[in-house]
Amino acid sequence: MRKTHAAAVGSVTLFTALLACGAVRTNVVPPSAELGTMPPGVYVLDYYAPPPDWVPARSIGDYSLNTRVPDLFWLKYDNAYALALRIRPIAKEQIEKDIEVGLIGKPRADKAVQFSAEEEQRNENRQVGVWKLNIPGDDFIEFSFKMKSRTKQQNPAVTVEAMGLGRVDTAKDEDPETACLDGFKAYKIRFPARKGAKLGGIRIQLPPAEAHDPEEEYVFVDLNLKRQAPKARFTDLPQRQWILRSTFDAARPVTVQDGIRDIVAYVNAKPEGVASLELPLKGYELRETTEKETDGGFKVENVKETINGQTVDALRITLEKGPRCYLKFPINFDAKTYNTMTFYTKIELPKGLDPRKVYGDTYPNLYGTDAGTLNSFFDTFSFGITSATKDHMDWNRAGVSQGLTAWHRQRDAEVPPGWQAVALDFLHSDMAGNKHTFLPETTHWCFYYNNKKIPEGQQVVVTIAAPKISSGLMYAGGELGKYREFLATRDKFLHKDFPDSSKYLDPPTTHRLPAPLPLIRNHVPQGEIILPTRRSYAAAYDVIVKRALDYYQNFLQNKYGLTEEIPLLSKPSEQDNTKIFLGSEHFAAVDKEQCTADLKILNGKAGCAIRARGKNIYIYGGNFNYAREARGIANGIYTLLENNTDEIMVFLAAGRSPTPRNVFEFSKDGNLDLVWGDGYINSPSLEYWSVTGPDSYMDRNFNFPDAWHLGTWEYGGLRHHTVNHWWGYGTEPNHSGAEPNETWGLGEDGKRMLPGCYTGHPCMINVLDKAKAAYLAKAFKTREDNPQVPKGQSYIYRQQDLFGLWVEDTLKVCVCDKCLTPIRLANGSLVTPDQREFRGTQFFANACAMINAVNVHARRDMQIESIAYFWMSCIPVFEISRNYKIRFCPYIRKNYFAPIYAPCNDLFWRDFHRWSQLDVTMGIYEYFLGVGTRPWADVFQYDLKEEMALGLKTATPESDRSQLAQMENWVLARLFWNPDSDLQELRRYYLRRTFREAAPEMEKFYFTLHNFIYTHFAYNQPTEFEDEQQVGTLAFMTPSDKAGRRNPNLTVADELIGYMEAARKQVRNPMSAKVLDRLYAGWTDYIEKARTNADILKQRAAATRKP
């Protein structure tokens, strides 16, 4: 894990100067049972197996027919599949391909396709290894593996070295005690633990052959080093446990000793400090019957049950095949106070059900799983609460409930056979459904069972006993200390006043020039721009700087009516004028010491430095990536422009292709003096980031456009290829209408699934060999010539740095016998299909084999990226490739008004925390779709700082594309640049520069809305990314503070509408007016839908009001 942060210098204006403090190692406290930070047992291992980064000792350019190359494949061994290592002579066809694509130079081409007896004697031609591990080896005591070979040699001697620890010689280190199958033999050495020992790598040395033998093959399985004692792969967050709320409020560390083991029994014992209400078991209500919605196929009885020696009231629901069963039981309470629901339940099933639709002791997958899938299992039901007074849509009736018994059952509770104890904290548990309710006005508790799935003539009997709702309890999780800090500081989200914001039209007060420098006088340029030298970056990346210069020139033309462009020169002229120098070499010539210090700060970052000497301004960047200074110089050009004018770039929402537009006031006199631009240096905390919007908008806002498939070298961004949902490599033909084949996954209906984003995944076992070939083949595909590479050599492996491999956007996976066969790990243990780690382990294994093929045959440092989404959020139970980039996606996160480390988001934060301790590159992929006008950047700022502290490198949220979210998108872009930004200041800056004369009314609109959200909505209704008019609906139900004698019925919604209308009357700037018109249209559509929802609630209240 690496921790990076930026320290602010100067005022908190838009472009606050930043100083990089450098990356430092974060100290990870070892896991402790006493502290509850030991991970699950599947991650506590008494062995170590290296990541599957097997490559030849020779570089690709030195390959020949003498070279042995590895690949990874699924080997069926002892009724399980193992990801095995196979080493073979390289194929002549592959050598010829390497020559064709320029990996092997022409001078070596003739020799490369020949087998050489002399070359065969060089050990490195016959070496394959996992290099540069540098793993502490103090506790290793044994090294072993199984191997079989197919070779013309008699008794070939193979050596396998655990570098720094010991070497196995197959000629003398056979292990006769270990039984083997299928022609394998076992080998083992033992050695004493040695303090300070390091495992440098694993090196396999094959014996020389007399001639090229394409049939030669060595296969290895179960290769591992045994430890003295089990060791955890990472330190976990403190374990989830029930505690008293008073324990959390005591502001001290929560310990394992604070945990309440059997929470349902604890509640039923009526402990001091815990108040409980009995939930009713009579008087249930049904939904209103419509053509689409109806209930039936069940019988409800009130009974008595004896559990643990106590006789309690119970509800028995006998279900048979029917449309659905949804029951609502009226009870009014505040679920923020009475936040814990407990009960006992028994689910009696008929015989002969599909075992794939019975959870048993396994946990459901809550990562993005829809309610239909969760409720398709027989041995579970959904439950929750709803508010008839505030929820215009009761999601429980569709089975989208907060609770699911298969997830919320308390597995350590003492209950009679067949019974389960269930507990759910409506504030802090991991919710099953992604929709919640208005907690303070709970009116019903709910039961849902989808009895359509019950076979004809059979019954499922559900019994619910002793249901209660209790106060004083909390389901602890996440990081409680940090969560306390959030709760103590969240009041800063409120806007307490609306001071004049006109200052934001002026240049920042910090980093001013000693004296103004004239750039334009009476529409005529008075200065010049000196271009970078070739030492700043390669010619290919001129396009990055040119884009910024074009924007600069176009803006000056539009605002100041320039008679001609600012001159762009390769060398400074002799004129005594304002000069803007681009590139560090120019500044190094006048102040080498300062330049060297700045470049050290900027190294590896997309930031820039802007300094002045006399009439000269210098803009330069650090050695960022392949484009070196180009990205930093471009950022500096944008910064200089914005901080010397009143310019801001926004965009007009237009579907998936919004139009960029800059807002400014036209200068009638055509004069511009540069007053800002000295002593400024910034260094962003992240390496790459992106916010949804058009490319030029993102470029302008220091983002790297996240083109899904083309890569972004033209922007100086992360060069990636096919980064989106697609796992169908090797399944060809896979077009619509193609004949299904064995590489397509087998669906639950017994039919092969067409590979695709929403249609299904491949058969992971059958597809792997073809998938490796297809994945490698794309590395050798060509794109149009571009100046990054020599003409005619535009192969993907030269142009891109990362290949995508994302799971499809569907839960449909192959359920054939092969894909449901256990996975064998390196120590011979198994991962079985009922384990939550199974699918992730299977998918990551395929991915590692696929990128390994690229690393072996095309490019050693090519990375692979998967979205850690669905089952791939879970840590696999083997060390994955070090070339892996994990784009972690907390989907579906159930509460965006609580930080990622809050207890209610434990499911995702726990996995992110685990991933951050592994040898992978970390990214975050948040969902901000449908958030509308909500101020979602506030909480995300807390998230971002903690994610960065755990080594976050990239951030690419999928943002709301609507006009309603434009301000938060803009704020988010600047937050990525400086995570310590004052978000209230950023919003006021945005509103003033965007809406000009209408800014005061727009400030009232947004800040009144934000205050309303934080005082009435955010902490009363946990909310996912979608705002389905909940905020607007509540605004119509809430009286405004402005209500008085003249307008006694004024609601918050009416107040907001008034501010928007007033802004439309006051706006004068034509560009501001266009932005406001688009916003008004989106807002009107939103608020009118909310009005309809509010009317439904009012009519419902009138119908139930007692006379």
Q: Where are the domains positioned within the chain?
A: 46-230, 260-475, 502-676, 718-882, 1003-1104
Residue 380: per-residue pLDDT: 98
Residue 581: per-residue pLDDT: 98
Q: Of 329, 328, 375, 320, whose CA–CA distance to 349 is shortest?
A: 320
189 preceded by a cis bond (ω within 30 of 0): no
Q: How far apart are CA 132 and CA 899, in angstroms?
A: 37
Given the DSSP bridges, would you call strands 823-824 and 80-89 parallel, antiparallel or unpaired?
parallel
**Backbone φ and ψ of 940, nearest 5°:** -65, -30
Residue 704: per-residue pLDDT: 57
Q: Which CATH fold topology does 46-230 show?
A: Jelly Rolls (2.60.120)
Residue 249: per-residue pLDDT: 96
Amino acid identity for residue 375 in this structure? N
Name the stretches of the chain with pLDDT < 50.
1-25, 654-655, 706-711, 1107
The DSSP 8-state label assigned to residue 220 in this structure reads E
Strand, coil or helix: 921: strand
Residue 925: per-residue pLDDT: 94
Residue 700: per-residue pLDDT: 66
> Would the CATH topology of 260-475 be identical to that of 502-676?
no
Residue 708: per-residue pLDDT: 42
Given the DSSP bridges, would you call strands 140-150 and 198-199 parallel, antiparallel or unpaired?
unpaired
Q: Of 442, 443, 664, 396, whose CA–CA distance to 554 is shortest?
A: 664
- Alpha helix segments (H runs only) across 964-1069: 966-977, 983-995, 999-1012, 1030-1037, 1052-1066
**pTM confidence score:** 0.95
Q: How far apart are CA 1106 and CA 1103, in angstroms?
A: 8
3-state per-residue secondary structure call for 678-698? CCEECCCCCCEECCCCCHHHH
Residue 962: per-residue pLDDT: 85
Residue 660: per-residue pLDDT: 66
Amino acid identity for residue 293 in this structure? E
The DSSP 8-state label assigned to residue 967 in this structure reads H
Q: Which CATH fold topology does 502-676 show?
A: Chitobiase; domain 2 (3.30.379)
**Backbone φ and ψ of 342, nearest 5°:** -135, 150
Residue 9: per-residue pLDDT: 30
Strand, coil or helix: 88: strand
Residue range 260-475 in CATH 2.60.120: yes
Q: Residues 424-454, buried b or exposed e (16+ Cβ, 10 A)?
A: bbbbbbbbbbbbbbbbbbbbbbbbbbbbebb
HSE of 296, CA atoms in CB hemisphere, 13 A: 6
Q: Which tokens hold the place of 1101? A: 């209240």
Residue 784: per-residue pLDDT: 74
